[in-house]
Amino acid sequence: MKRKSYQRKQKRSKRTRKALTLFVAFTSAIVVAFIALRVYVQVAGAPPLTVPKASIFLDENENHIGDHFTNERRYWVSLDEMSPYLKQAVVAVEDKDFYKHGGLDFSRIAGAVLVDIKAGGKVQGASTITQQYARNLYLSHEKSWTRKLNEALYAYRLEVFYDKDEILEGYLNTVYYGHGMYGVEAASRFYFGKSAKDLTLAEAAMLTGVPKGPSIYSPIVNLDKATNRQHVILKLMADQGAITQDEKTRAESEQLVLKSDSWVATKSVAPFFLDVAWQEASEILKSKNLDISEGGWTIQTTLNLEHQKAAEEAVAKHMPNDDLQTAFVSMKSNTGAVTALVGGRDYATSSFNRVTQAKRQPGSTIKPILYAAALENGYTPLTYLNVGETTFTYDKGRATYSPKNVNGKFANHDMSMAQAIAISDNIYAVKTLEEIGFKAFHEMANRFNVNIGTKDNLSIALGTTETTLYEMTNAYNILASQGQKTTPTTIVSIKNANGDTIYENKEVDKEAESVLSKENTYILTEMMTGIFDPVFSDYSPATGIGIRSRMTHTYAAKSGSTNSDQWLIGFTPSLTAGVWNGYDQGKNLTEREDTASTKQIWIDFMEAVNKGTKNEDFTKPKDVKGVVIDIESGKLATDACPKQRLVYMDEKDVPTEKCSNFDILDTDTWGNFWNMLPFSIFKN
């Protein structure tokens, strides 16, 4: 008996020792595991919190005009920039012990594990806010034990290196709220048309209910279900003491106004312009070794909303009901700031930007560049050339070229440069190129940053080398800037997600680089006002006569046309605008309404943006003199010569001879007459 008792005692002792050994081993394993986990976490370091953020665009007056997203629509805001109700609501419904646990809620995990074991699979979650944030940042939403283990590991790392408010802020900026909206700021703007900091208790509770099932609890998808979940959240908040019963009751009765329609309507402000601004900002940041795809940038642009509206309205009013396409851009002189841009008729149909991407033949809009070179090579506005029908021989006599004018007619008399530019005579342009030489024209085009090709072909005088409206309008903007170099830009400044200014566009020093002397710029500019003056009309009318009656300000401009393109680019001393019309596939322009729309769009815009402003005169340099000239002869005008015009030129080039030796109304004529008499009595 004693023997059996002894044996039982020995067995119990062995079991106790074995259990104790197992317990010590298990405890040691756990301790070692935790030590190893801690060492791993310390070695691995803080997990990155980088997530895609929206970059926002502002106009020149810092109004919000658009956004740009990489993959997700998201605006990152700090916890202080959110309504306090959001924080309370999220903690109440998602993780009431958030500020107590270390990233994992073991009581919730144990309950979820039992449910999963009974179901034979992963069916119930017990994720804390930290775990959900880890999943949003690093993992998929797959329901598996492997993903859950990784989720717990990331959650622990987050809790080690970041405080609770940082984690909560990150969660609220990454959670999905449906309709492509990530984070509370994007969701708040979408659903309620306001910033997250301005949300009421009722709105915050409604928004907090959406992530559980955006396709079910979105108030846009199902308002009843969204409202029921809102009430559940409000009750939890009251039960946990986050709000009072009175606050709960008031929130439940508040009528919410959804603003998603308004949000959608604001997405399409100047989309072609924003594409150009994004590309330019990308290049700027790249030059500073920064990647624009990081997001979170605040990009202030040069867009003037009034100018953009005027441009879009002009296009909508005058474009015919066919496939004709359009492009429009306006720039401030001096700075090159782009104030409006329309890259086509409908961005939704085609995002191809015909301002910056379409290369077309500029036609006669190239002629001011040619005549700028001519002015530097001895020409004056009163340089006369024979512009009758001409066949040119070039390439050492191996090739010929016989240009024609638009209407197929030719002048039967010599013509001045001032008149040739006004009626866009092609023979004058080609003869000018032939006389001044290709080198002078290429050199001038390079200074204006306009492409005219590399081949020495007489046809380049008529704009046969393709270029963009962006380039051509900037070339004219140089003239508007009194010959000083300008570069088109859409960017005022760029700030990063922390509000630090990364780039600021300083206005260009006006004396930094001169493209053309102020004297020649002014002379050329004044000649370009001639396209609106009927006094220059000859075998063909001055090219801007059709819109002269609508002009209330002084404009300098030049039109251009090819079989498939219509251009008009012009400027005041402060603003330059360019318009192009044509078909994307190079179809010829045959309908009158196709060829008429270009000028109407241009004058509509210029008159709209200058309405109510004082007329601006171009600044005349002191060495330039204005004289009234007889257009036909190029001599000083008298009343006997009917075709008169004020022409500006270098003082040394002013003619001294009059257009008529005898004018009955001219006092000098009578003075000369009396001087010829022999009797002194009559001389007085």
Q: What is the pLDDT of residues 253-262, one digit of tens each?
A: 999 888 776 5
* Cβ within 8 Å of residue 400, ≥6 positions away: 391, 392, 393, 394
Supply the pLDDT for residue 427.
Answer: 97
**Averaged pLDDT for residues 414-434:** 97
The residue ranking higher by pLDDT, 512 or 541, is 541
User: Whole-model pTM?
Assistant: 0.74
Supply the pLDDT for residue 355.
Answer: 97
pLDDT exceeds cutoff 70 at 148: no
What does the DSSP assignment read for 162-226? S-HHHHHHHHHHHSB-STTEESHHHHHHHHHSS-GGG--HHHHHHHHHGGG-HHHH-TTT-HHHH
Q: How many CB atoms lie within 10 A of CB 493?
A: 15
Weakest mean pLDDT among 119-128, 609-618, 653-662 = 119-128
pLDDT exceeds cutoff 80 at 649: yes
Residue 610, H or E segment: helix 592-610
> What is the amino acid identity at position 604?
D
The residue ranking higher by pLDDT, 396 or 209, is 209
* Residue of 515, 511, 492, 513 whose CA lies nearest to 502: 492
Weakest mean pLDDT among 159-173, 394-408, 636-650 = 159-173
Weakest mean pLDDT among 77-91, 168-182, 493-507 = 168-182
Supply the pLDDT for residue 674.
Answer: 44
> What is the amino acid identity at position 402?
S
Q: How many CB atoms lie within 10 A of CB 674?
A: 12
pLDDT exceeds cutoff 60 at 197: yes
Supply the pLDDT for residue 52.
Answer: 61
Give me the chain's average pLDDT, please. Answer: 84
What does the DSSP assignment read for 196-212? GGG--HHHHHHHHHGGG
Largest CA distance in the chain: 178
Residues of the chain with pLDDT > 90: what percent?
A: 57
**Averaged pLDDT for residues 133-153:** 62
The residue ranking higher by pLDDT, 104 or 340, is 340
Supply the pLDDT for residue 672.
Answer: 44
Tokens of 455: 């081949």
Weakest mean pLDDT among 135-149, 280-294, 597-611 = 135-149
DSSP state, residue 627 = E
Buried b vs exposed e over 637-671: b needs ≥16 C-beta within 10 Å? bbebbebbbebbbbeebbbeebbbeebeeeeebee
Residues of the chain with pLDDT > 70: what percent?
A: 80
Supply the pLDDT for residue 160.
Answer: 65
Helix, strand or coil for residue 331? strand
Supply the pLDDT for residue 72.
Answer: 64
Supply the pLDDT for residue 682.
Answer: 41
pLDDT exceeds cutoff 70 at 95: yes
- Residues designated as active site: 94, 364
Question: CA 479, CA 444: separation in Å to the nearest integer?
Answer: 13
Supply the pLDDT for residue 568.
Answer: 98
The residue ranking higher by pLDDT, 262 or 527, is 527
pLDDT exceeds cutoff 50 at 509: no
**Averaged pLDDT for residues 578-600:** 87
pLDDT exceeds cutoff 90 at 318: yes
Supply the pLDDT for residue 37.
Answer: 45
pLDDT exceeds cutoff 50 at 85: yes
